[in-house]
Amino acid sequence: MPIIPQRITPREKLILAGLYLSKYDLLGLRKLGFETFKEAFNVIGYALGTRPATIKNYRDEFDPLYSNRRKGWHKRPIRDYCVRVSEKYDNLDSDSFAELIKSFVGYDENIWSELHTKEDAGNGNTRFANRLITGLAAEQYFESVQPIISEFRDYVVENTTRLGCGYDFRLRTEPTCQDFIAVEVKGLRGPSGSVSITAKEHGTAAVLRDRFFPFIVKNFQDRPFHQIFQDPLSGTLHLTKTEIVTVQVAWLAKV
């Protein structure tokens, strides 16, 4: 297994994403579960907290080095800091490089393979793309546009994704204010589709009512846009209840 440096800076992660997409081209897309480069730029860009164009620009930076159908930034030398990153990770094979890119967003295949849903049950690669779209990429999209959305721009935002409280963001008019509104973010690959509301989110929405806002980010495969709902239990989302039975396996031992 190639040795991967322990400390990777945020800028190096962006450079490496571009390097990976340039070096492995369509194979690289498939290993991450993306259908097009535009989708990869959108999802990886938002997930890493940058503009999609940044990932594209880094891919184009490295294109003159590799035999693909693109010319990239061939009219000027590759920037020195990009060359240094490329040399540092030159020994990575495609599988190791793909796993490195996945690690940038905290993706662990061992965990997701046990928790996959019907939509992403195809393979591990598809799971990665879908999980980013429905999770981190959509959440980072919300944080990037929140200051210019009329419904939310005058609020102080607290990220609650790791608190398990039934929504992703808590918004207050002031940091010490007790009253708040809650935003639950969902992501869709295309311009339309189905979103899932968990039992906990449904219960939270029932308590908060008009203070609960599902925020749906659509069309990561092309040009992302969003749609905002308020009080989903009022019928604006036309929710349909489904029941899923899961089987849990355990091993017993007499002691």
147-234: what CATH class? alpha beta
Closest among 173, 180, 188 to 221, alpha carbons compared: 188
For residue 124, name the pLDDT band (cuts at 50, 70, 90): low
Q: Which residues pair with 169 in a beta bridge?
A: 159, 183
Query: Which sequence spans correspond to the domains of the chain?
Result: 10-134, 147-234
Burial 43-67 (b: 16+ CB within 10 A, else e): bbbbbbebebebbbebbbbbbbbee
HSE on the CB side for 119, CA within 13 Å?
13
Residue 175 predicted with pLDDT over 60: yes
- pLDDT the model gives residue 112: 42
Residue 1 predicted with pLDDT over 80: no
Residue 57 predicted with pLDDT over 90: yes
- pLDDT the model gives residue 111: 46
Predicted TM-score of the model (pTM): 0.86
Residue 113 predicted with pLDDT over 50: no
pLDDT, tens digit, for every residue of 208-248?
999 999 999 999 999 999 999 999 999 888 888 888 776 77
